Amino acid sequence: MPYELVYIVRPTLDEQALATITEKVDKFITAAGGEIIKREDWGKRRLAFPIAKFTEGFYSVLQINLAPTAVRQLERNLKLAEDVLRYLVTRVETA
Amino acid sequence: MDDTKSTASGAGQPAPAARTSYEPRPKNGPGGRRPGRFQGPRPPRVCPFCAQKSKVIDYKNTDMLRRYLTDHGKIKPRRKVGTCARHQRVLAGAIKRARHIALLPFVSEATRGE
């Protein structure tokens, strides 16, 4: 199933830490048997409202292919990753 | 007729702006309103999302979504934006998704008092 994942990472991280998180998220997906079709990093962006006292965050948008049963595991992993402030997994409607 | 009159009567007052298009307003039926009461600007007659071909409303397209929010950040009602019932529902979902990932505010900053 095609899904779209958006997540926001803490703005306080340096480039290296950000790369580590990126890799970690990629691993969440591949470990769950999914594949990344496209990755789009928006960079640091202002949040519409503060989250955990942060007013900015690193945005990433991923197009992924994942088994429906694996979504739960992916969401659980993202929830447990402390550097990820928010995430959103949506199904991409295929028309 | 108006034009000739104003030039003849001299330069004392500028002629009132001519009403170029005047269409009688429908009093009832779909989109009709109660006469004799001011009800604000009328929304477009066709749903802006039905008019365009693309079938999905992208929650990441904040510039587009912002048009459907009030200054306070609330979702504008259908009577103001003229969306059809289906697209208003889809639009609301997209706005709510955008809010979750902090692309759109739940309450605008000015209203929050920051």
Instruction: Tell me the per-residue pLDDT of B30-76, one tens digit each, with 9 for 90 and over.
Output: 555 556 666 667 766 788 888 887 778 899 999 999 999 999 999 99
Residue A62 reports pLDDT greater than 90: yes
Residue A55 reports pLDDT greater than 80: yes
Residue A50, phi then psi, degrees to nearest 5: -70, 140
Mean pLDDT of A58-62: 95
Work out how many domains chain B is built from and give that number: 1
Which pLDDT score is estimated for A26? Answer: 93
- Contact of B48 with B81, CB cutoff 8 Å: yes
The angle that helices A15-31 and A71-80 make with each other, rounded to 10 degrees, is 150
Measured CA to CA, the distance from residue A4 to residue A60 in angstroms comes to: 10
* B109 domain-assigned: yes
* B26 domain-assigned: no
Contacting residues of A for B99, CB less than 8 Å apart: 48
Task: Determine the structural domain holding residue A38 and report its residue range.
Answer: 2-91
Interface size A-B, in CB pairs within 8 Å, comes to 33
Residue B13 reports pLDDT greater than 70: no
Whichever domain contains A30, its CATH number is 3.30.70.60
Residue B3 reports pLDDT greater than 80: no
> Which residue of B55, B100, B107 is in closest CB contact with A86?
B100
Task: Determine the structural domain holding residue B66 and report its residue range.
Answer: 48-114
- ipTM for the predicted complex comes to 0.85
Which pLDDT score is estimated for B11? Answer: 44
* B38 domain-assigned: no
Work out how many domains chain A is built from and give that number: 1
Mean pLDDT of B100-106: 94
Q: Is B111 on the interface with A (CB under 8 A)?
A: no
Show the tokens assigned to A27: 């691993």
* B20 domain-assigned: no
* B105 domain-assigned: yes
Whichever domain contains B73, its CATH number is 4.10.640.10
**Cβ contacts of A5 within 8 Å, gap of 6 or more:** A29, A61, A62, A64, A74, A87, A88, A89
Residue A62 Cα, gap to closest chain B Cα (Å): 12
Contacting residues of B for A87, CB less than 8 Å apart: 101
Global pTM value: 0.73
